[in-house]
Amino acid sequence: MRDFTRFVSLKRLFVTSSVILFSGASLVAHALAPDASWFSPAPQLAPPDISEQRYSYELAKSALAKDDLATFRQHYARLGDYPLVPYLDYALIKDTISLDSRRQVDRFLETNSGSFLAYKVREQWLYYLATQQQWDTYLAYYQDMGQSRLECYSLYARLEAGDQTINDEVAALWSEGKSHPKACDKLFDRWMRQDGLTNEIAWQRFLNAMEKNRRSLAKYVSRKMDGKYREYADLYIKVDAQPSLIKQHRVFSEQSPEMQHIIARGVQRLARYQPKDALYHWELYEAAQMFDPSISTETKIHLAKRLTWNDYTQEAADLIAKSQELRSSYVVEYLIREGLKNQEWENILSWINAMDESEQQSDRWLYWRARAQDELKLETETEALSSQAIYHKISKNRSFYGFLASDILGQKYSLEHETVTVLPSTLLLVEKMPSMLRAKELWLRGNYEEAQAEWRFAVKKMDEKEIVAAGRIAQNWGWYNKAIVAMIISKQWNDLDLRFPLAYEDAIAKVSASTNLEPNFIYAIARQESAFSERARSSAGAMGLMQLMPATARQTALKSGIKHRDQYLLDPEYNINLGSQYMTELMQQFNGNRILAIAAYNAGPHRVNRWVSGIPKNQPFDVWIETIPFKETRGYVQNVLAFSVIYAYRMGKESTLITEKETKIHL
C-alpha cells in the first residue's frame, strides 16, 4: 500500500493547487527584478538529475509560500528544464496580479498557448480586470471559457462599449431555467432598465424553470410579468400544485400556446397518480386544441411511461399504436421487457417490428428477434431472416449479445482485436510535448486533478494518431485510465491491448489466489467500475478502482480482518483486495452465480433477492438479465460478463460467458 503521507507532505509545499509549465524563466525575472541576471543558472557539465530538480522545486515552492524571494531565486535558478517550472510562474502571476501584469500575462499566454494553465492564467486575468472595471482590456482578452460569470462580464463590457446588438444574447442567458451567479446581476439590471425584458422572455424562463422543477425560481420570475402573462403563470402554478384542476375543461378552453403549456403540465402531473384519468382528459383536450407537435409528443411519451409503470400496459400499447413518433421511445423497450417477463413471444416480436429500423438492427433486438422466432418456431420467408442467420450475423460482433449468439451456435467468440499502428516518430513527438511532460510529472507526484487537466488540454490539440500515441504512452507509465480514454476519443474500439489493459497484474494474481475469483472476473469489475481510474469517486460516494462505498468497505474490512481507513480505498492494491473480498462474499451468498453477484455488487444484495424472488419458475437467464428493473444494473451485468470474456482473451485463456450453473436463476 502506498504511503499516503507522501502526498500530504507534497501538497503542503504547494502555494496553489493549480499548476503550469512555462518554458523559460523570463516571466519570473520580469516579475521580481529589473536585472534578470539572477535567474540564469550557472554553466553545468551535465543536465541536472530529475531528483535534484524535484528537490529544488519543492524548496522553491516552500520559499515562495513564505515570501522568501532570495531563497526562491536561488532554488529557481537550479531547475533547468524541469517540467513544472511554470507552477512558479503561475503562482507569481496569481499572487502579484495588477494592471502592470499585462506583459507577463501576454508572454505566458503566448508561450503556453492552448495549455491548461494558459486557461487558468487567462481566467485569473479576466476576473481581475472585471474587479477593476477595465472593460476595454477585458474584451481584448475574453474567450468563451464555459463560465457564466465570465460570459456575464463580457456582455456587460460590450454594453459599456455601446454594443446595441447583444439583447438576444442577454435574453437567452437570462431565460435559462436556473439561478445565475451574482456576477450577472449588474448585467441583468442594466438590461432590464433598458427595456430588454419582455413578458415573452419572462414566460420562457418561467417554463424553463418549471421544467426543471425549480418552483421558487419560477415564482420569482412570475413577478416579472404583468397582465395576461401573470395570469398564465398563476394558473400554471395552481395546476402544478393541484393537477386535478385539469379536469375542469371550461377553465382551460382558451386557444393559445400558453394555455397548451398549462394543459400539458396538468395532464403530466395528473398522470403521476391517475394515469388512466390523465389519458382520458388528454384525449379530450387533444380533440379540442391544435397542440404544437413537440408539446403533444412530449405529453404522450410521459403518459405512456406512467401507464406502463402502473401496469396499464395495454393502454400504453394502444396509445403508441396511434402515434408513429412514439415508437422509437423508451416505452416500446419497456413493453418488450414486460413481454419478456411473461415470455409473450408474439407480443415481443410485434413490438420489435414497431421500432425504428435502426433500432431493430442493434445486436440487442436482433438477438431477441431470433429468440422469439425460435420460441414460436416461426418459418421465415428467406434463409437470411432466419434465427440461425441472425445469430451468425451478431456472433461476429464483440458484444454481450454477440457472445450469447456464439454460445447458441456453439462457436468461438469473435474478439475483433486489431492493434492500432503508431509510428515511433509519433510516439517520440508526443512523449516530448511539454504538456505530456507536465502531465506525467504531475501524475507521478500524486497531483491527479491537475495531471488530468493537462492531459485533457494536450489531447485537444492532437490528431487521431497522436491521441493513440498519448494513450500508449500513458499506459507505459501505468496510467491505464488515460489509455482507455484515448481509445474512446479516437474511436479506436478494436485495440484491446489499450482498451482492456492488464493493470496491476501482481495485485490481481495475489487476490485471485486468496479468494478463488478468476483474474479476468476481477479485471472485468474494475474495468467496468472505474476504467482503472484509481482516484475515481462517484456522486454517491463510491471510491477507487472497484468503486466501494465507504460503509461497505468498512464492513468488508472488519469481516476480513483487514486494517481499514477510508482513504486507503484510493490505493489501487488495497481497493482491489477489498473489492474482491466483497465480491467473494456476494458469490457465496448467491451460490457462485456470477450473474446475481454482479447485479448485487451494483444494486445491492437486498434488491437482487427481491428481483429473484418475484420471477416465474425456470425463467431463462437471458430474460432475467434483460428485465433487470434498473437500466444501469442491466447494462452493468452485461458489460462485466462480456468484459470477463475479453480479459480471458487478453490473458490467453479460454472463457465461457455463462456457465451451465448460471443458466438457472434462483436463490
Q: Nine-digit cell at 659?
A: 456457465
CB 320 within 8 A of CB 293: no
Whole-Å CA distances, 300 to 142, 356, 467, 654? 44, 18, 44, 49
Residue 18: C-alpha distances to residues 23, 64, 115, 420, 449 (Å): 17, 15, 12, 34, 9
Three-state SS letters, 258-273: HHHHHHHHHHHHHCCC
The alpha-helical segments, DSSP class H, found in 242-322 are 257-270, 275-288, 293-309, 313-321
What are 223's three cell numbers?
A: 413577478
* CA 38 centroid distance within chain: 47
Of the candidates 203, 200, 187, the one whose C-alpha atom is nearest the C-alpha of residue 155 is: 187
Contact call for residues 20 and 121 (beta carbons, < 8 A): yes
End-to-end CA separation in angstroms for the chain: 37
Total residue length of the chain:
667
Question: Which stretches within 461-532 are classed as H helix?
Answer: 464-477, 480-490, 496-499, 505-515, 519-530
Q: Cα angle vertex 648, ends 645, 652, to 5°?
A: 140
Quote the Cα angle for 455-498-470, to 5°.
30
What's the rounded Cα separation, in Å, for the pair 112 and 119? 9
Residue from 151, 450, 529, 534 carrying the catalytic annotation: 529
- The conformation of residue 289, written as its DSSP 8-state character, comes to S
**Active site includes 529?**
yes
Residue with cell 438457472: 664
Quick one: which of 331, 332, 375, 381 has its CA closest to 352? 332
Instruction: Report the chain's C-alpha Rg in angstroms.
Output: 31
What are the grid coordinates assigned to 477, written together?
507509465
State which H helix or E strand residue 128 sits in.
helix 116-131
Which residues on adjacent β-strands are paired with residue 620?
Answer: 664
Note whether 457 and 116 are within 8 A (CB): yes
CB 177 within 8 A of CB 211: yes
- Residue 25 corresponds to which amino acid? A
SS3 category, 543: strand
Are residues 444 and 6 in contact, defined by beta-carbon separation less than 8 angstroms? Answer: no
**664 by DSSP, 3-state: which?**
strand
Q: Could you tell me which of 239, 139, 134, 224 has the C-alpha nearest to residue 188?
A: 224
d(CA 262, CA 9): 59
62, 13 contact by CB (below 8 A): yes
Q: What are phi and psi of 432, to 5 degrees?
A: -90, 0
C-alpha cell at 615: 420471477
Cα dihedral 91, 93, 96, 100, rounded to 10, equals 170
Catalytic positions: 529
